[in-house]
Chain A
Amino acid sequence: MDKRVMKAKNMQQASLRSRTGKLTVQFFTYLFLIVMALIVLFPFYWMIISSLKTLEEYRLNVPTFWPKRIMFSNYAEAFTTANLGDLFVNTMIVGVSSTLLSLIITVLSAFAFARLEFKGRDTLFTLLLATMMIPGELFTITNYTTVTQLNWMNTYTVLVVPFLVSVFYIFLLRQNFLQIPNELYLAAKVDGTSDIKYLWKVMVPLALPTLISITILKMMGAWNSYMWPRLVANDEAHRLITNGLRNAFTTTSGDVNYPVQMAAVALVSAPLFLVFIFLRKYIMAGVSRSGIKG
């Protein structure tokens, strides 16, 4: 055979091989991702179908993957057993008030660090950043004593005030403010705009995505907080949702009425998912920068 033809044939084969190779890799990539996605999703699926089963069906030796009889009454039972209505109201009170106050404090501080000149600014900022290294439990020990002495036990105050300042959020917002050119501030000064008006009219709108991220993370924090509320405000009147859920269903292993328990878990999880669906962009942006849950 002609050498040239042979070479052409070899090249064709090589290209064919590389193309089928590419397809196989694609196939396994998708296979891997879809299997992993199913594993990730499975607990949610299991939570939902379990919450809709009767206790008898749940206890069947061979599990069913779709409830035979859909029991929405589990949700009603969960709602009353765990007293979710009150817990929800408490959590919203704490979440909304701490988010609002925290936003105001964060904006003011970030503005001072980003735009105003004062003695010791950089030293102070570095010191603040250094505190981020310290695990929160270290503060809790003393704060527990402090709030006892302040007579704040079992109040909303104790759930809101100690966590109003987040150095990380100040840092995040300051970085954002720094990207806004200083000329804008100087121009506003020339026009006689007050600081507060400038903040409100220029900086806040420009930093809105960051502020939304902070809001969501802060709300999620209230929703998910567990340790501190358990220590300082575990009474009926002020109990938050996570503690309420844990208290209502103390045992997790053994012969438990799982359908009702799963219904309660689903009810507690639902608001988080709703927020996530509508504000995914902001949550993901905020999280990739923080690495802190809640």
Chain B
Amino acid sequence: MVDSKQQWKAWLYLSPAIAILLVFTVWPIFNTVRMSLLEGYSGLKAAAGMTFEFGLGNFQKVIEYRRFLQCLQNTALLCVLTVPVSTLLALLIAVALNSIKPLQKILQTIFFLPYVTNSIAIGMVFAAMFNIVGSFYGTENEIIVTAGIINNVIEFFGGKPVNWINYGSTYVANITVMVVYIVWNALPFKILVLLGGLQSINKQYYDAAKVDGTPRRRVFARITVPLLSPMLAYVIITGFIGGFKEYTSIVGIFGEQMGPPDDAGRLNTMVGFIYDALSTNSQGRASAAALILFGIILAVTLFNNNVIKKHTHY
């Protein structure tokens, strides 16, 4: 039974949301597909009355573009490195937190703190910590005068200071810094979700295991992890999605040149590539890249879902 008064009332209530969604969500979906299929489409040129041929040229150009492959590589590398590390660390921390009583609340709050930060602002703090004062436009032989705190710590333990982010730093060093920062940033959400999951596991399973004298490690592997698997899956999938959209954390550390001073763009990501294309008014290319990003995220999600379905048991 649908009463007609409710009909128009419902549409009235929905109208502001629908109007905004039509303009800023629905139209862009169609328009992005359209622009991506018009070869070399540019908003400026279109406004000047130019027409474009229909074809897959944008996709081809994007894929052949050396910078794009670099972006893809950076994004994928960061995903593959950060998701497992942060998930594992978060799992260990969550399990440890769940097993203690005194100090649990305060530690939980501390571990959540990185979430309530501005990733650009705290990125600047990390940059300061990894920075090397004294070798900024330097040559290879220049002596490092003052190291950032990270290098101080390395030297304290007898290691050699590393040029992490400055002029002449290596790709490996740059990526390491990014991994540390992204993991630090990703921990709070994962710990929160996993701890929530742990606390909802029926305590009787642990009592039952205790009666059987199950060793701690086995309880973890055979009971905790399987029962937590839906939460783990959620955390891993959102981790991958977030990872493929990585951008601002790199801006935070390296600034908008997305790389050390001597190699701008070295650490650019998929999202960065899209914005670069957009700022040069190459909407066709930007659209193609955005659709590729969407395709990758979709594929990774589906792949993860499949793997997870095989390994979660209920």
Residue contact A37 to B107, C-beta cutoff 8 Å: yes
Instruction: Indicate whether A54 reaches chain B with its CB closer than 8 angstroms.
Output: no
Q: Measured between C-beta atoms, what is the minimum distance from B192 to chain A in Å?
A: 5
**A142: chain B residues within 8 A (beta carbon):** 27-28, 31-32, 35, 283
Docked-complex contact A128 and B21, CB < 8 angstroms: yes
Check if B24 is an interface residue, CB within 8 A of chain A. yes
Minimum CB–CB distance from B249 to chain A (whole Å) comes to: 10
Cα–Cα distance between A143 and B293 once the two chains are bound (Å): 18
From B89, B253, B275, B291, contact of A252 by CB (8 A): B253
Query: CB-nearest residue of chain B relative to A104?
Result: B16
Question: How far apart sit A117 and B196, CA to CA, in the bound complex (Å)?
Answer: 35
Contacts of A136 in B (CB 8 A): 245
CA of A119 to CA of B254, assembled, Å: 52
Bound form: Cα–Cα A109–B287 in Å: 30
Interface residues on B, range: 35 or more
Chain A residues with Cβ below 8 Å from B196 are 288
Contacts of B26 in A (CB 8 A): 131
Docked complex: A232-279 residues within 8 A CB-CB of B: 242, 245-246, 249-256, 258, 261-262, 265, 268-269, 272-273, 275-276
B290 and A261 form a contact (CB under 8 A): no
Task: Determine whether B280 belongs to the interface, using a CB cutoff of 8 Å to chain A.
Answer: no
Number of A-B contacts (CB under 8 A): 285
Q: Which of A1-9, A56-64, A66-74 participates in binding chain B?
A: A56-64
B120 touches A226 (CB 8 A): yes
Q: Which of B60-68, B79-87, B90-98 participates in binding chain A?
A: B90-98
Contact B29 A269 (CB under 8 A): no
Contact partner, A40, options B114, B167, B242, B260, Cβ 8 Å: B114
| Contact B293 A137, beta carbon cutoff 8 Å | yes
CB neighbours of A117 from chain B (8 A):
1-3, 6, 10
Question: Among the listed stretches B49-57, B125-133, B222-230, which one makes contact with chain A, having 4 or more residues with CB under 8 Å of it?
Answer: B125-133
CB contact between B125 and one of A43, A165, A251 (< 8 Å): that residue:
A43
A interface residues, tally (CB under 8 Å): 93
> With A37-B107, A43-B184, A137-B293 as given contacts, are A119 and B113 in contact (CB-CB < 8 Å)?
no
Nearest CB on B from A244, distance (A): 10
Please state if A40 and B110 are interface contacts (CB–CB under 8 Å).
yes
Q: Cβ of B28 and Cβ of A29 under 8 Å apart?
A: no
Residue of B nearest to A272 (CB): B116
5 tightest CB-CB pairs across the interface, nearest first?
A254-B136, A142-B28, A252-B127, A118-B10, A116-B10
- List residues of chain B with CB within 8 A of the CB of A265: 121-122, 124-125
Task: Find B260's partner among A139, A161, A253 (CB 8 Å cutoff).
Answer: A253
Query: Within 8 Å CB of B166, what residues of A?
Result: 253-254
Q: Is the CB of B121 within 8 A of A268?
A: yes
